[in-house]
Structure 1
Amino acid sequence: MLVGYARVSTQDQNPALQLDALTAAGCEKVFTEKASGAQRDRPELAAALSYMRSGDSLVVWKLDRLARSLPQLIETVAALEDQGIGFRSMTEAIDTTTAGGKLIFHIFGALAEFERSVIRERTRAGLKAARDRGRKGGRPPALSAADLAAAKALLRDPAITVDEVANRLKVSPATLYRHLPGGRGGIGAQGEANAQEDHFD
């Protein structure tokens, strides 16, 4: 059995062209979706997959009606294959129930894996280059050593609150507290008392 799936991105778009093409292709039932292709939660697609049985084929007018990226397309078609369901795209003339169609998707899968490998390799090379130049990956610390020293000096004054110091350094009180070894209590008894006044925990 051929089951059609039509999708338009917005409520204003008309799926008539897709519906006519799917009907002409022999689809006995067609599910119509109005949702972005990047949207993972597509109820009509889920309904189509639930409706189909092993030996059926899902038919779309174009590949981008089913997915908006190569990895998403491969993931969806692989899920269909696991259920014994074929896939056909009319515009690209792809049919995974044929040897030629299966070959195309194996090539697609190899290309997607190649792309992921290239991205991983570039990321590793970029991190290594940064390390060689004396830099480490990740976000820079919110407080420099000088900032932290100034914060400790200010917080030894019981009249100065944590919020005031954080405002001066343009960070949140939580960020300031994270940078204090042993918490505010680590800067002395007066700091501990002030921390309790500020309800800082």
Structure 2
Amino acid sequence: MVRSKGKRVALYLRVSTDGQTTENQRLELAGIAERSGWQVVEVYEDHAVSGAKGRDKRPAFDRLCKDATRRRFDLVAAWSVDRLGRSLQDLLGFLNELHALGVDLYLHQQAIDTTTPSGKAMFQMMGVFAEFERAMIRERVNAGLARARAKGKRLGRPPVEENVHQAVKEARAEGRSVRSIAAELKLGVGTVHRILTSPDASGQAIARR
């Protein structure tokens, strides 16, 4: 594969636990940069940080994104896709951000290099499959809801029985606090509040204290 020469590259390294090291990632990516004629301008390293965490919990990744906006480099290189994030959606979002800034992406383990036509095409296909996956999830959810309704199942918050409503309102009329009512009847505080603020037979809600 012929790669672009003379590019300024940022290396992103990440490991999830203190017992791991980024050294192998660093050596491999630095070697690739040297062989490809890339100039390493910065190494961004998140140590003992899960890829499932958001950008605000990954300081080096956050700094990488900000420096991309400042055009500090032309290319971001990482050992593997899972170093950047834990989902295809995260990766595509990051790629779209880089693309808008005119910055390319190289992933060693997946042999993806968006400086090449084949690399760009592969990411376009990943975007198609990601949209297909979202559509399939929506379809399965909607089909499940339709089956539940067809079987007569009630969807949403389960109703509270009328005798429980009555017990809550009687206890409140006696001057009991919301928390004591919830504890005695083994209900959530929110459920008690909902019962007390729902209209009674006369159409009036029982005021909270």
TM tier, shorter chain? 0.7 to 0.9
For residues 47 and 187 of structure 1, the distance between their equivalents in structure 2, rounded to whole angstroms, comes to: 56
In 2 relative to 1, CA 46–161 (structure 1 residues): closer, same or farther, beyond 3 Å?
A: closer
- CA displacement 1:16-50 (0-9 Å, x = unmatched): 10110111112513221111111112221222233
- The answer as to 2:31 corresponding to 1:16 is no
Q: Which amino acid aligns with 2:183?
A: N
Q: CA deviation at 1:55?
A: 6.9
In 2 relative to 1, CA 2–146 (structure 1 residues): closer, same or farther, beyond 3 Å?
A: same
For residues 75 and 46 of structure 1, the distance between their equivalents in structure 2, rounded to whole angstroms, comes to: 14
For residues 62 and 162 of structure 2, the distance between their equivalents in structure 1, rounded to whole angstroms, comes to: 54
For residues 74 and 136 of structure 2, the distance between their equivalents in structure 1, rounded to whole angstroms, comes to: 36
Verify the 8 A CA contact 2:10 2:76 in the aligned structure 1: yes
Q: When the two structures are aligned, how many residues end up with a matched partner?
A: 189
Partner residue of 1:51 out of 46, 62, 67: 67
- Tell me the C-alpha RMSD between the 2 structures: 2.9
Q: Which amino acid aligns with 1:90?
A: H
Report the counterpart of residue 146 of structure 1 in structure 2. 163
TM-score (normalizing by structure 1): 0.81
- The answer as to 2:95 corresponding to 1:88 is no
Report the counterpart of residue 170 of structure 1 in structure 2. 186
TM-score (normalizing by structure 2): 0.78
For residues 155 and 55 of structure 1, the distance between their equivalents in structure 2, rounded to whole angstroms, comes to: 68
The residue correspondences of 1:1-150 to structure 2 (distance < 5 A) are 1-26=8-33, 27-28=39-40, 29-34=42-47, 35-40=49-54, 41=56, 42-52=58-68, 53=71, 56-141=74-159, 143-150=160-167
In 2 relative to 1, CA 123–58 (structure 1 residues): closer, same or farther, beyond 3 Å?
A: same
Query: Which stretches of structure 1, 4 residues or longer, exceed 6 Å deviation after superposition?
Result: 185-188
Larger Rg: 1
Paired-residue identity, %: 36
Verify the 8 A CA contact 1:6 1:61 in the aligned structure 2: yes
Q: CA deviation at 1:58?
A: 0.3
Verify the 8 A CA contact 1:127 1:136 in the aligned structure 2: no
For residues 72 and 127 of structure 2, the distance between their equivalents in structure 1, rounded to whole angstroms, comes to: 22
Report the counterpart of residue 36 of structure 2 in structure 1. none
In 2 relative to 1, CA 2–170 (structure 1 residues): closer, same or farther, beyond 3 Å?
A: same
Q: CA deviation at 1:151?
A: 3.7
SS at match of 2:86: coil
Q: CA deviation at 1:150?
A: 4.0
Stretches of structure 2 lacking an aligned partner (at least 5 in a row): 1-7, 34-38
SS at match of 1:25: helix
